[in-house]
Amino acid sequence: MREYFIRAIVGAWILGITSGVANAAPGASAELLRSLPPPARRTLQSEVGHERLDSVTRTNGSEGEIIYEVQTVKAGRTRDLTVAADGKLLDLQVFIDETPDPVRQSIQSLTRGGKLGDITKNIGDSGEDTFEVELTRDAATRTFTVDAGGRLLEMQVFLPETPPSVQQTIQSKVAGAKLGDITKTIADDEVTYDVEMTRAGRSRSFSVSANGELLEEQVFLEEAPETVRKAIQSQASRGRLGEINKSTDNGEVVYEAKLTIGRKLHSVTFDGAGALKSEEEDMAWADLPAPVKLAVKPLQGAGEVTDITRTTEGTHITYEIKLRDERGHRALTFNPDGKPAAP
């Protein structure tokens, strides 16, 4: 039996402790495959075909779940991919000749005059894949993301490249701290800037509109008012607590806490006094009430369902179904009985 070794590693972005890395000598792919749980093994065999496995890393994802980072080699080209323990493919390194035509054309346009780096295909939960691309130009490296149609979704920018009003807000919030990445996000023709910063060894983020308005900022549990803190802790007992963001909605301060319950992501919103305002939950098509499915079908046309969210406000429940077709993105909202929800 060929030997492989296990070593502990810690990545800056990884939450938790890495369980180990298995590195392959030539011909050791079968042994590396056996180090994976059966669902992940089947996915890997399906995705990499005859590529030789070079290493397998068992670690923790951003939500604490077990994932496997895999590197393969074929014809001298290495490829990285990530698969969950349940076999779900999370991301896959691809080469430009493997991307769809609209994606390839967009990448070539956006990297003109620069050097193309890695391309990572991120697998969306509802079939909406995106492509994250590394670009080096003028000795500076940045990333950008396009959707499967080649539309630009995000672009890493530097502070001098942002509008003056945005620069002022960022500099005010970051005063005395270390500025991290700035990501320009384009969604429904609206531009926002997501900013990372580090102060006293703790990283947090905030978002700024194109005119410099502070939209939301990440806070830590101990920074929330006592009533809000207790309300969040009560909800967090149902699962695992993630980020907490503070924002202002029509002049009212609200706190949104991210929770992972089972395998589903929930967003729970509280007012400044800790009263529960609403809860949003990601859903699968199979879990929708039958009347809602029947209502969506005649309106869907050729559109592809990209996201489903169930929202609960008091006793009122609505289902938002997001669609994508050749015309772009649109959303349909229904009550549980399949009737359109009031705007």
CA proximity to 122, closest of 78, 151, 88: 88
What 8-state DSSP symbol labels residue 303?
P
Pair 203, 197: CB distance under 8 Å: yes
Rounded Cα–Cα distance for residues 178 and 186 (Å): 25
Inter-residue contact 283 to 265 (CB < 8 Å): no
Residue 162 per-residue DSSP state: S
Specify the pLDDT at position 96.
Answer: 96
Return d(Cα 259, Cα 99) in angstroms, integer. 34
Q: Can you tell me the distance from the alpha carbon of 267 to that of 264, in angstroms, rounded to the nearest whole number?
A: 10
Q: What is the pLDDT of residue 65?
A: 79
Residue spans of the chain under pLDDT 50:
1-27
Which of 85, 35, 44 lies closest to 63, judged by CA? 85
Instruction: Please check whether residue 124 is in contact with residue 130, taking contact to mean a CB–CB distance below 8 angstroms.
Output: yes
Which residues are within 8 A (CB) of 156 and not within 5 positions of it... i.e. 6 or more apart?
Answer: 142, 143, 144, 181, 182, 183, 184
Q: How far, in Å, CA of 253 to CA of 334, rounded? A: 28
The domain defined by 158-218 folds into: Nuclear Transport Factor 2; Chain: A, (3.10.450)
Q: Cα–Cα distance between 91 and 249 in angstroms, integer?
A: 35
Check residue 301 and give its pLDDT: 82
Token pair belonging to 151 = 């539309």
Residue reference for tokens 């749980």: 37
Q: Is the dihedral of CA 230, 231, 233, 234 positive or negative?
A: positive
**pLDDT computed for residue 302 by the predictor:** 78
Task: Please check whether residue 136 is in contact with residue 112, taking contact to mean a CB–CB distance below 8 angstroms.
Answer: no
Q: Where are the domains of the chain?
A: 20-90, 95-151, 158-218, 220-281, 283-334
Give pLDDT, residue 127: 61
CA 158 to chain centre: 21
Classify the phi-psi angles of 15: left when phi > 0, otherwise alpha if psi is within -120 to 50, otherwise beta.
Answer: beta
Written out in words, the top-level CATH class of the domain with range 95-151 is alpha beta
CATH class, domain 20-90, is alpha beta
d(CA 125, CA 257): 21
Return d(Cα 310, Cα 92) in angstroms, integer. 29
CATH 3.30.1330.10 fits 220-281, yes or no: no
Side-chain-side CA neighbours of residue 122 (13 Å):
11
The pLDDT tens digits for 32-86 are 777 788 998 889 888 877 788 888 899 987 767 789 999 999 888 999 999 999 8
The burial class, CB within 10 Å (0-12 / 13-18 / 19+), for 186 is: middle
Coil/strand/helix, residue 225: coil
3-state SS, one letter per residue, for 32-96: HHHCCCHHHHHHHHHHHCCCEEEEEEEEECCCCCEEEEEEEEECCEEEEEEEECCCCEEEEEECH
Provide the 8-state DSSP code for 6. B
Assign 212 to helix, strand or coil.
coil
User: Do 20-90 and 95-151 fold alike per CATH?
Assistant: yes
Cα distances (Å, whole numbers) of residue 70 to 41, 91, 241: 11, 10, 28
Mean residue pLDDT across the chain: 87
